[in-house]
Amino acid sequence: MLNDTLSRLIDRTRDALRFHLIPWLSTVIAVSLCFYLLAILSCLAATYRLSRPSWTAEDRATVYMHPDICRQVQEGLAEELRSRPEIRHVSLISQEDARRRTEALLGQWKGVLTGLGDTFFPPSLEVQFQPETLGSKNLDALITKIRQSPEVEDILYGRGQSRPMVEGTTAVEYLWWGGMGFAGAVALLMLFLSSRALILSGRDALEIYSLAGATDFYSQAPFYLAGIMQGCVGALLAVGLSVFSTAQFQTVLPPLLIPVVSLKAWQQLFLAVGLLSCGAVLGSAGTWLALKKSA
Amino acid sequence: MTRLIQCLHISKGYPPADPVLQDINLDIFQGDFAFLLGKGGSGKSTFLKVLLGLEPPDQGHVLIEERDIAEIPPREIPFFRRQLGIVLQDSKLLMHRSVFRNVALPLEVAGSGEAFAQKRAFALLRMLGLEEKGALSCKCLSASERQRVAIARAVVNDPVILFADEPTGGLDAQEARRVMKLLEDVRVMGTTVILATHNASLPTAVPGSRVLVLHQGKITEQTAAE
C-alpha cells in the first residue's frame, strides 16, 4: 500500500513537471546560486570570529620594545611584569621569532617582506592578564606605566585595540547577515514563482482531483514534493560549489586568510545539513505561499 | 421510495438580486433518472453546482440523504464527494494520462490498492468497449470515447448519485445514443442519475425517467418521459 502511494505520488509529480522541466531546472540553478551566496556568507560569519587574531582578545596586550633593545632588558621587563598580581602570563618574542611568524602567516606572499630591516620586527612581550582584573583602574594604571617605560615603544592593549575592531567586525557581520537574509529571500521568491507557475499550469488537474474526492493534501502533495526537491537539489549544488570554491581559494590565499575560508569536515557536514534543511524549508514555504495565492 | 436529495426553497443569482434559480423545491428519489431540461443560460449548470455543493445557494438548503450539505465541515467534503459521480461536458480528463489511470483516479484518491483499482477499471473499460484502449493516452481518443471514459471514471467507485452536465453535448446522434445507453445501464446498477441537458429529445431515450424543466429560474414542469 505504501509502495502504491509512493509510486502514485512520484507519477503525479512527474506529470506536474512534464511541461515544466526546463523552467524548473532553471530555478534550481538560480536557487543554487542564492544558496551558494548564503553558504559563503554564513561560512565567513562563522569563521570570522574564530580566526580573529589572539592579540585582539580583551585579556591580551602586546608590548613592542625598541628594536635595538638587548635580550637582558627584555627579560628584565618580562620578570617585572610576571611579578604583578594583575598579570597571568608573559612570553618573549624575539626579532627572529617575529619575522618567522610573519613569514609563516604570509606563506607564498612572504616576498613582500624582502628588504624590510629588523626595525620592522621589534622584539615584544605578549602579556595575558588575570580575567578578574579586566576593567579595573589598577590595570589601566599598569598599562599607562608600561607605556611610559623608556624601553617600550608602543603597547597594543587588546581591550583598547579590539573595541573599534569588534565594532567594525560587528558592522561587517550585520552586512553579512543582511546578505544572507537577502539571498534567502530571493531564493524563496524564485521558489514561490516557480511553484506558482507549476500550480497554474496544473489547475485543471487540481480541479479534477478535487471533484474525484481528493483531499487538499493529496492534490497538493506533488507540488510540495516538486518545491522541496527544487530547494534540496539547489542546496546540494550550492554545497558542492562552496566546498569546491573554498578549496580553490585556499590554494591562492595567503595563510593569514586561510582560516577565514577553510572548512573543517564537521563544518562541511554542518553546511550540507544546514543548506539541505534550508532548501527543504524554503521549497515547502514557497509552495505553501503559491498554493495560498492560487486558492 | 427513499428520498435521496431534497431541495428546499433554493435561490441563487449572480448577483443575488438577479436570481438564476428562484425558490426551487424538489425531491429526487433513489433510483431516479432525472433530466434537468432547459435552454442555454437557464441555470442548469448552476443548479447542478448547488446540488454538488460546489456553490452555496443564496437561500434555501440542499439535503442529501437527510444531511444539509452546507453543514458538512470542509475536511469532510472530499469524503462526501466520493459518494458522487460527476461528468462534465468537456469530460475533464487528464489528457497525458492513460485511459486506465483516468478511470482509476477516484479509486486512487480514495486510497484503494493498485490491484483492486486495476481490476475494477478494466472491468468497466470492458463494459464500455474500451478495453483495447486502456493503455493509450486520452489524447488519442475521440470525443465520444472521452465522454465514455469520463462516465467510467464517474461510476468506478459505485457512487450513490451521478451528476452529468451535458454529457452528450458535441456528440453526433449515434454517439449520444451510446452514451445515453451507458447512463441507463448505470441507473440499472443502482445509481441515481441527474442529467442536465438542453436537448428536449434526449429524455425519450430513457423510458420511465423524470423530466424537470428549468425555465426562468423555476422548475415549471415535472413529467415522466414517454
SS (H, E, C) chain A: CHHHHHHHHHHHHHHHHCCCHHHHHHHHHHHHHHHHHHHHHHHHHHHHHHCCCHHHCCCEEEEEECCCCCHHHHHHHHHHHHCCCCEEEEEEECHHHHHHHHHHHHHHHHHHHCCCCHHHCCCEEEEEECHHHCCCHHHHHHHHHHHHCCCEEEEEEHHHHHHHHHHHHHHHHHHHHHHHHHHHHHHHHHHHHHHHHHHHHCHHHHHHHHHCCCCHHHHHHHHHHHHHHHHHHHHHHHHHHHHHHHHHHHHHCCCCCHHHHCCCHHHHHHHHHHHHHHHHHHHHHHHHHHHHHHC
Among A residues 46-75, those touching chain B with beta carbons less than 8 Å apart: none
Q: Could you tell me if A208 lies within 8 Å of chain B, comparing CB atoms?
A: yes
Q: Could you tell me if A170 lies within 8 Å of chain B, comparing CB atoms?
A: no
Crossing angle, helix A158-201 and helix A216-252, to 10 degrees?
A: 140
Q: pLDDT category, A192, cuts 50, 70, 90?
A: very high
Would you say residue B61 has pLDDT above 70?
A: yes
- At A199-233, the pLDDT tens digits run 998 888 888 998 888 998 899 999 999 999 999 99
pLDDT greater at residue A83 or residue A49: A83
Q: Cell digits for A49?
A: 570570529
Q: Measuring CA to CA, how many Å separate A207 from each of A73, A290, B48, B79?
A: 89, 16, 16, 15
- At A141-176, the pLDDT tens digits run 888 888 888 888 888 876 666 667 677 777 887 888
How many angstroms separate the CA atoms of B175 and B144, rounded? 6
Return the minimum-mean-pLDDT range out of B149-153, B195-199, B219-223: B219-223
| CB-side neighbour CA atoms (13 Å) of A49 | 9
Share of chain B above pLDDT 90, in %: 13
Q: pLDDT category, A235, cuts 50, 70, 90?
A: very high
List all residues 6 or more positions away from B151 whose beta carbon is below 8 Å from its beta carbon.
Answer: B87, B128, B164, B167, B179, B182, B183, B186
ipTM comes to: 0.85
Write down the pLDDT at residue B222: 63
pLDDT greater at residue B172 or residue B53: B53
- At B154-204, the pLDDT tens digits run 989 889 999 998 888 777 788 788 888 888 888 888 899 999 998 888 888
Binding-site residues on chain B for chain A (CB distance < 8 A): 75, 78-82, 84, 86, 92-94, 96-97, 105-106, 108-111, 113-114, 153
Beta-carbon separation of A213 and B110 below 8 A = yes
Cβ neighbours of A42 (radius 10 Å): 21
The distance of Cα B114 from the centroid of its chain, to the nearest Å, equals 26
Q: Measuring CA to CA, how many Å separate A162 from each of A51, A147, A158?
A: 14, 18, 5
Average pLDDT over residues A72-85: 88
How many angstroms separate the CA atoms of B199 and B69, rounded? 29
Write down the pLDDT at residue B226: 46
Mean of the per-residue pLDDT values for chain B?
86
| Nearest residue to A232 via CA among A286, A268, A193 | A286
Write down the pLDDT at residue A55: 63
Q: Which residues in B lie closer than 8 A to residue A1 (C-beta atoms)?
A: 111, 113
How many angstroms separate the CA atoms of B168 and B154, rounded? 15
- Say which of A4, A207, A212 has its CB closest to residue B109: A212
Q: Measuring CA to CA, how many Å separate A194 from each of A28, A223, A286?
A: 10, 10, 9
Write down the pLDDT at residue A189: 96
Q: Measuring CA to CA, how many Å separate B152 from each of A116, A229, B110, B117?
A: 91, 35, 16, 13
Share of chain A above pLDDT 90, in %: 27
Would you say residue B221 has pLDDT above 70?
A: no
Interface test with A, best of B45, B90, B94, B95 (most A CBs within 10 A): B94
